[in-house]
A and B are shown apart, each in its own frame.
Chain A
Amino acid sequence: MAVLVVDDQAAFRRAAADVVALTDGLEVVAEASRGEDAVIACARSPIGLVLMDVNMPGIGGLEAAQRIRGSDRAVVIALVSTYAADDLPDDVRASGFPYIQKAHLSPSALQQLLHGAPHR
């Protein structure tokens, strides 16, 4: 499955790429540092999973996720952030997108995400 990692912090993009590389069946095909670039990347090539940071400059992660979902209902989009789930804004919590706290990102978390188990 093709994975897009979206985060304005290069350190996290590298760490996320390492996690995806060690998760069976997943491969990072693209990275983006802004939500706008993520929307373009998803429009250009088929993406199966998007790891989307919530806090980014520009349109932000939630808005980018909603635009991508609007064009492709099949893509799995997980919101990520350093904040605890309880500290997330109301619109993020109510968005319906699964959320993974960055420090808990792991191959097992991604497998649970893809097999539909809730991970908040």
Chain B
Amino acid sequence: MRSPTSLLDTDRAHLRLYLVLNLTTVVGASIGLVVLRFTIVRSNWLLVDAAAVFAVAGALLVALHLLDNGRVGLVLTVLTFANWSVSVVTVLITPFILPTILLAVLLPLVATLPYLSRPRLLATAIGAIACSIVVAVVSRVHLVDGPEGIASPALRTGILVGSIPVVMTLIVLNVWRGHLGLIDRSNELRRSRARIAAAADETRRRLERDLHDGAQQRLSAVAIRLALARGQMDAQPAVAAALLAELDHELIEAIDDLRDLARGIYPPLLGQRGLGEALRAAARRGTSPVTVSCPGVGRYAPEIEAAVYFSCLEAVHNATKHANPSTIEVILRQGSRLEFSVVDDGIGFDPKTAQLGSGLMNVADRLGSIGGELTIRSAPGTGTHIGGAVAVTPLQSC
């Protein structure tokens, strides 16, 4: 079963590939400009252009480093700024390259499209239009006495014919990548909905089974004994009394069964007092030592509290069942997002090779349905950190 977090990893892998391709192209262009300067077109402006293009290579290296640290937003900003800056510089020095540059101005938009929120997409689109106007104007102004007068028409044509397909290929690759990404996301969304529906059905089946095997059986036994007691009241009152005495135990066990079931469906403390108290109560009932800490965590919409509560519970259950921990910590934090972490000191596992179980898959789907995300960090022998974050703020503080 494919983990929902692997989709994010795929996006990042594609972005990394694009950055590396772009870096290769840029370094090649920079070297090409230097070679041109010392062979055919002896203008120092080409060295200036090469330096500007090489600076983009530096920016791309920074972007790769930021991507490895998960700073995707900053990667997109660096990419866009570097591309547009060098576009203006290049067309300033060599105005004939305008057709290629107009295509290159589109690159940040198509490359970052899968990662942009709507406001950022709008800003980037407006930026691309503005940059295209700027480069078009700059190409007509001839502020610099650059190498264009020196380069022959054949050379200029050759450079255009050579560079346009390269940039066009990068654009097409990005559009294709975006298309595949959309299909992937759509398929994953469909699979996620199916998993959520299946999980709900499984919960109902488990509920029916728990009711049947527990409370229903006990209450049937109570009904039998009551009928027997009623029948024996006159003839054998001692027997009737003995039968009635056994009813206490069966009724209390039936009540316990129903209370446990109700708690499993939606714990009363969660609705009445919120995440902190509900999780502490669940921790007290658990078999492993669990500590709960939730500074600054308030009250949230019921679906948010339920998703976070059951996610924490599933993570604790997972740790207890698989990790053999001596301690489990549940930590909730409210910053710009509501974040939770379940950390154990157990045996750990390799997330790259281990298959995500149905319980954690349900957690990922459930968090995804409220706009949240699940992260899993673990390694054999070093414990496990299961975390989640939801972009919400409290309705009220506790």
Q: Is A114 an interface residue (CB 8 A)?
A: no
Q: CB-defined interface of A72-108 with B at 8 Å, one 1/0 digit per residue? A: 0000000000100000000000000000001101110
* Bound CA–CA A14/B221 (angstroms): 8
- A selection of 16 A-B contacts at a CB cut-off of 8 Å is A9-B213, A11-B250, A14-B246, A15-B220, A15-B225, A18-B224, A22-B228, A22-B232, A22-B239, A82-B212, A82-B220, A102-B223, A102-B224, A103-B220, A103-B223, A106-B228
Contact assessment for A19 and B223 in the assembled complex, using a CB-CB cutoff below 8 Å: no
Given contacts A55-B212, A82-B212, A82-B216, A15 and B224 within 8 Å (CB-CB): yes
Q: Is the CB of B224 within 8 A of A106?
A: yes
Q: How large is the interface on A (under 10, 10 to 19, 20 to 34, 35 or more residues)?
A: 10 to 19
In the complex, A12 Cα to B214 Cα: how many Å? 11
Chain B contacts to A: CB under 8 angstroms: 212-213, 216-221, 223-225, 227-228, 231-232, 239, 243, 246, 250, 253
Residue A64 CB within 8 A of the other chain? no
**B217 & A103 in contact (Cβ 8 Å cutoff):** no
Tell me if A106 and B231 are in contact (CB < 8 A).
yes
A16 at the interface (CB under 8 A from B): yes
Q: Contact at B224–A103, with CB atoms within 8 Å?
A: yes
The residue in chain A whose Cβ has the minimal distance to the Cβ of B212 is A82
**Smallest CB gap from B219: residue in A:** A103
Question: Of B212, B213, B221, which one neighbours A15 at CB under 8 angstroms?
Answer: B221
User: Which chain B residues border A12 with CB–CB below 8 Å?
Assistant: 217, 220-221
Contact of A18 with B243 in the complex, beta carbons under 8 Å: yes
Contact between B228 and A11, CB atoms less than 8 A apart: no
Q: A11-B218, A22-B239, A82-B216 are in contact. Are A105 and B224 (CB under 8 A)?
A: yes
Q: Across the interface, which residues of A come within 8 angstroms of B243, CB to CB? A: 18
